[in-house]
């Protein structure tokens, strides 16, 4: 799809500055834009990308100083919303695939597919599985035995849900997600790690989205739980028997060890880790790369390894970077003290000499 800048200005009610015939084929961030792109200048932090941008025009807010560029401009009251509308116009969302089961899909005779379900090429639905209305299974999806999937879910190519796990409604699994692999549990006896059966399941609530290649292990007993509305990024590890509350955010490459309990509205930032058997209260935030070794209170923000309250840890981090100065100060203190010790000894000697009439 392609449009002139004039058409786009009229589409979103923006003020146009510059050549109205400028042709726009796509939208982009200003840092990665090129010819044919309309680039959004999100906020002033993006100004630094302006000199090198390849964009054909900019979408800016009313505060933007037009002298900062020679590019044609669309000036919108709410540039973010305008961008959304233009993006949807230039690149309409994918059409919903036709309902039905592709002839190459393997669906067990006793599996139940709700109305409007889409099963694409080479998806596998095993015995006893139930797939809710209008759910889409893309190629190479596996729905294991006795799995239950709700309505309006979207399982991207290569997503795997193993036996007996359950998904609520409107769940999105991105490619390579593995739901229900065995938890990592062994008993060490006679020098050998013996596998403990992992008999539980995984239970994913409504409106959960799970990023590419993330893994959520089944419980040893009972269920690993992901609460409704929780959003999980790519390459995240959720372990057996974790219980994650509603509306949490788990950012890329973070991991929870087993039997960890997160409250609601918890954020675990990128590359953070949480020890097993930890409880994290509602609304807590675990900073990027933090290593949480003890419980986190509701509303608390922690950072560092072992994680502590963010205010305290930030102080420690600043001082960590000043450790060379600190050592220098201690060296100086030691020297000054030594000199003072000598001075006092000299005074003492002089006083004694004086008293003894020398």
Q: Is residue 315 part of the contact set for a copy of itself (CB under 8 A)?
A: yes
Instruction: Give me the least distance between CB of 157 and a copy of itself, in Å please.
Output: 4
Query: Segment contacting a copy of itself (CB under 8 A): 5-13, 17-25, 67-75, 197-205?
Result: 197-205
| Binding status of residue 319 toward a copy of itself by CB under 8 A | yes
**DSSP labels for 91-129?**
SPPPPPPPSEE-TT-EE-TT-EE-TT-EE-TT-EE-TT-
Residue 259 neighbours by CB distance under 10 Å:
19
Q: Which of 4, 7, 112, 271 binds a copy of itself (CB under 8 A)?
A: 271
Q: Which two tokens stand for residue 201?
A: 């399941």
The reply on whether position 51 binds a copy of itself by CB under 8 A is: no
CB of 88 to a copy of itself, least distance (A): 7
Who's near 91: CB < 8 A, 6+ residues apart?
A: 1, 26
Closest CB to a copy of itself among 78 and 249? Answer: 249
Which of 277, 297, 298, 299 lies at the binding interface for a copy of itself (CB under 8 A)?
277
Residue 243 touching a copy of itself (CB under 8 A) = yes
- List the interface residues with a copy of itself, window 96-115 (CB under 8 A): 102, 104, 106
Give the sign of the dihedral formed by CA 352, CA 354, CA 355, CA 358: positive
Which element (helix H / strand E) includes 10? helix 5-12
- For residues 263 and 266, give the distance between their C-alpha atoms in angstroms, rounded to a whole number: 6
User: Minimal distance in Å, beta carbon 239 to a copy of itself?
Assistant: 7
Is residue 298 a contact point for a copy of itself (CB under 8 A)?
Answer: no
Neighbours of 99 (CB within 10 A): 14
The yes or no reply on residue 234 touching a copy of itself (CB under 8 A) is: yes
User: Rule CB under 8 A: is residue 87 a binding residue for a copy of itself?
Assistant: yes
Question: Is residue 139 close enough to count as binding a copy of itself by CB under 8 A?
Answer: yes
Q: In the set 175, 206, 282, 300, which binds a copy of itself (CB under 8 A)?
A: 175
Q: Is residue 261 close enough to count as binding a copy of itself by CB under 8 A?
A: yes
The residues facing 256 across adjacent strands are 238, 274
**Stretch of 2-10, 71-79, 128-136, 174-182 contacting a copy of itself, by CB under 8 A:** 174-182
Q: Are 131 and 112 in contact (CB under 8 A)?
A: yes
Q: Does 241 bind a copy of itself (CB under 8 A)?
A: yes
For residue 23, state whether it binds a copy of itself (rule: CB under 8 A): no
Out of 168, 211, 245, 281, the residue judged to bind a copy of itself by CB under 8 A: 211
Spatial neighbors of 92 by CB under 8 A, at least 6 apart, are 1
Burial (0-12, 13-18, 19+ Cβ within 10 Å), 348:
exposed
> What positions carry a catalytic annotation?
240
By CB under 8 A, the residues from 321 to 350 that bind a copy of itself are 321, 323-324, 326-327, 329-330, 333-334, 336-337, 340-341, 343-344, 347-348, 350
Residue in 140, 149, 151, 153 binding a copy of itself, rule: CB under 8 A: 140
- The answer to the question of residue 88 lying near a copy of itself (CB under 8 A) is yes
> Which range, of 2-10, 16-24, 66-74, 211-219, touches a copy of itself by CB under 8 A?
211-219
239 lies in the binding site for a copy of itself (CB under 8 A): yes
131-137 — which CB contacts under 8 Å span 24+ positions? 132/169, 134/99, 136/96, 136/97, 137/105
Is 234 within 8 Å of 215 (Cβ atoms)? Answer: no
Q: Does 135 bind a copy of itself (CB under 8 A)?
A: no
CB contact at 8 A, 16 and 5? yes
Interatomic CA distance for residues 277 and 115, integer angstroms: 42
């Amino acid at each position: 799809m392609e449009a002139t800048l004039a058409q786009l200005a009229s589409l979103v009610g923006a003020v146009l500055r510059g050549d109205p015939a400028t042709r726009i084929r796509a939208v982009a961030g200003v840092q990665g834009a090129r010819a044919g792109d309309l680039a959004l200048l999100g906020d002033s932090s993006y100004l630094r990308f302006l000199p090198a941008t390849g964009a054909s025009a900019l979408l800016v807010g009313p505060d933007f100083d037009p002298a900062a560029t020679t590019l044609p401009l669309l000036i919108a009251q709410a540039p973010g919303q305008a961008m959304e509308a233009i993006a949807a116009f230039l690149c309409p969302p994918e059409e919903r695939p036709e309902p039905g089961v592709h002839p190459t899909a393997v669906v067990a005779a006793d599996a139940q597919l709700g109305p409007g379900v889409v099963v694409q090429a080479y998806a596998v639905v095993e015995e006893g599985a139930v797939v809710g209305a209008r759910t889409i299974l893309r190629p190479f999806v596996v729905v294991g035995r006795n799995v239950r999937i709700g309505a309006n879910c979207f399982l991207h190519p290569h997503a795997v849900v193993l036996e007996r796990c359950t998904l609520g409604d409107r769940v999105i699994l991105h490619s390579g997600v593995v739901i229900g692999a065995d938890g990592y549990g062994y008993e060490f006896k006679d020098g050998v790690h013996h596998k403990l059966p992992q008999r539980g399941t995984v239970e994913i609530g409504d409106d959960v989205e799970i990023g590419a290649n993330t893994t959520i292990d089944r419980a040893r007993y009972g269920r690993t739980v992901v609460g409704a509305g929780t959003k999980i990024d790519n390459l995240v590890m959720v372990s057996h028997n974790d219980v994650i509350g509603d509306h949490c955010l788990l950012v890329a490459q973070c991991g929870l060890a087993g039997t960890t309990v997160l409250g609601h509205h918890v954020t675990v930032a990128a590359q953070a880790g949480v020890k097993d058997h930890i409880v994290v209260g509602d609304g807590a935030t675990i900073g990027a790369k933090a290593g949480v070794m003890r419980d986190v209170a509701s509303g608390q923000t922690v950072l560092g390894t072992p994680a502590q309250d963010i205010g305290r840890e930030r102080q420690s981090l600043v001082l960590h970077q000043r450790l060379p100065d600190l050592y220098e100060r201690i060296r100086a203190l030691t020297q000054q003290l030594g000199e003072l010790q000598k001075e006092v000894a000299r005074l003492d000697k002089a006083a004694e000499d004086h008293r003894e009439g020398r």
